[in-house]
Amino acid sequence: MGISFDNIDGVIWYDGRLVPWQDANVHILTHGLHYASCVFEGERAYGGRVFKSTEHSERLKRSADILDFEIPFSVAEIDAAKQLVIDANKLPDAYLRPVAWRGSEMMGVAAQTNTIHLAIAAWNWPSYFDPATKLKGIRMCLAEYRRPDPATIPALAKASGLYMICTISKHKAERAGYADAMMLDWQGRVAECTGANIFFVKDGAIHTPIADCFLAGITRATVIDLARRRGIAVIERRIMPDELDGFSECFITGSAAEVTPVAEIADWRFTPGRISELLMNDYAAEVQPKGKAAAA
């Protein structure tokens, strides 16, 4: 086991100031811990700049609004704080975790006057999946749990409570020798993975589920744009599991996963091919700061 995440050298931005990593703590009776009144982002910095930082900060604010609280910092202030964390920790290439939550003034379901906190941490986190075997495609199983009906949860927020079934599903997948699990929605249609969106390829076109009961990722939107720049058709539609036999390629996208091909989902097989590799390379070029990309 590697170093514990509560014992890393560095600083964390916490409610407007940088504090030593080990001092960035919350009380055990924090509302966000007991009642999941907590939202977060997962972002990456490349070459000293956070990729699509403002889009992530805007989504963080929207997620908090959906959970009925307001983060007491503007989008511009959050962007600046993320850059400060990257610079202070000397981490030009890093993963960032902004997180906002209700504090501990009231302990009960209702906590409208609790202080809203915001913290931002950054650390070295290489590719989510092994780069040496990434193009071969990862193996996934089918998750037992499904994405819930959006009438029952705030599905369009990046909220901590929504990831409970993702953790359960990923643990079960890893114990069975898989890298991840594909989740269906509450109606049995293809939805996403435990922490990434999913795409399929058929006859040179890309198909991906409509993101109305799960998070439409920022990486997802980036890859859709990259594909369309290449003249590749992208079709957002309902996809049923029995259609998976008709797809030739599959890949997943996310800030942590970036673009990762898939070779297997339960009994379905795919062959990582031209479109998956093309978008892997296009995304790798897209995330680099423009000056660095031009100089390369």
Active site residues: 158
117, HSE (Cβ side, Cα atoms, 13 Å): 23
How many degrees, rounded to 5, is the angle at CA 227 between CA 295 and CA 286? 25
293, HSE (Cβ side, Cα atoms, 13 Å): 12
Strand locations in the chain (E): 11-14, 17-20, 38-40, 43-46, 49-50, 94-102, 116-123, 138-142, 180-184, 190-193, 197-202, 205-209, 234-237, 249-254, 258-265, 268-269
Q: Are 181 and 193 in contact (CB under 8 A)?
A: yes
- List Cβ neighbours of 144 (8 Å cut-off, separation of 6 or more): 168, 169, 172
What is the secondary structure of 17-62 as a DSSP string?
Answer: EEEEGGG----TT-HHHHH--EEE--EEEETTEETTHHHHHHHHHH
Instruction: Classify 204 in phi/psi space as left (phi over 0), alpha (psi -120 to 50) or beta.
Output: left
Q: Where does 157-241 have alpha helices with state H?
A: 164-175, 218-229
List the one residue out of 252, 245, 51, 239 whose CA is nearest residue 170. 252
Question: In 3-state terms, what secondary structure has residue 232?
Answer: coil
Q: Are 74 and 64 in contact (CB under 8 A)?
A: no
176: DSSP letter: T
